[in-house]
Amino acid sequence: MKNLLKKECRLAALPLTYFFLAFGFMALLPGYPILLTAFFVCLGLFQSFQTAREANDLLYTALLPIRKADAVKGRMLFCAFIELTAFAVSAACTLVRMTALKDAAVYRQNALMNANFVYLGFLLLIYGCFNAVFVRGFFKTGGGLMKPFLTFGVLAFLIVAVGEALHFIPALSAANAFGFDRPGLQVACLAAGAGLFALLTFAAERSAEKAFEKVDL
């Protein structure tokens, strides 16, 4: 699996995908829907999928002395690697906002979603949905791109809208806590996001493996 990940990172991935990791720094932007970080990172992954498809990468991978299921595992592992790397960048920026910048006026006066553990939980949820909707859809058809990505895009923007609207509901205003206020709620949301990411990614991989076995390349 280590060699497959290297192959994905060196041969299948576009430099653009790595460049899009910089969108993790969007957590530092005031007055911007920072949950779009996840969408842009996934857009970078989509570009790699598109280029790899045009280069017949799936056929090349299937001709290697590996199982077809391993091709799915390798690509899913690559997606998780990019997603979690971008998440680490976002998490580092979020911690800066929750500590050194927690009282900065530019963030305190921001009407949009605040960077905290709730935000990080939502990021993981969007990444999990990308794996469950797009990556699974790609392998289900053996190369279909637009339909699964458009479906993911609609779902991602719905999640962004929910995340941005959440703190405007009086009973849920604590979701926009500054610093380490309401730690129980924040940690619970982050744990829920991490759990959903793991569950969606694992289920998507299993489903994609079964579907890809039936695809005639």
> What is the structure's pLDDT at 203?
97
Q: How far is residue 9's CA from residue 177's CA, in Å, rounded to a whole number?
A: 37
> Are the beta carbons of 206 and 136 closer than 8 angstroms?
no
> What is the structure's pLDDT at 101?
95
Please state, in angstroms and as integers, the Cα–Cα distance from residue 30 to each residue in 34, 39, 72, 105, 172, following that order: 8, 18, 38, 10, 21
Q: Is the pTM of this model over 0.75?
A: yes
Q: How far is residue 162's CA from residue 115's CA, in Å, rounded to a whole number?
A: 15
> What is the structure's pLDDT at 68?
83
Domain boundaries, the chain: 2-213
Instruction: Average pLDDT across each block of 10 residues of the chain; the chain has 217 residues. List them in order.
Output: 81 92 96 96 96 84 81 94 98 97 92 96 98 95 91 98 94 92 95 98 95 79
> Are the beta carbons of 160 and 36 closer than 8 angstroms?
yes
Q: How far is residue 135's CA from residue 148's CA, in Å, rounded to a whole number?
A: 8
> What is the structure's pLDDT at 143?
81
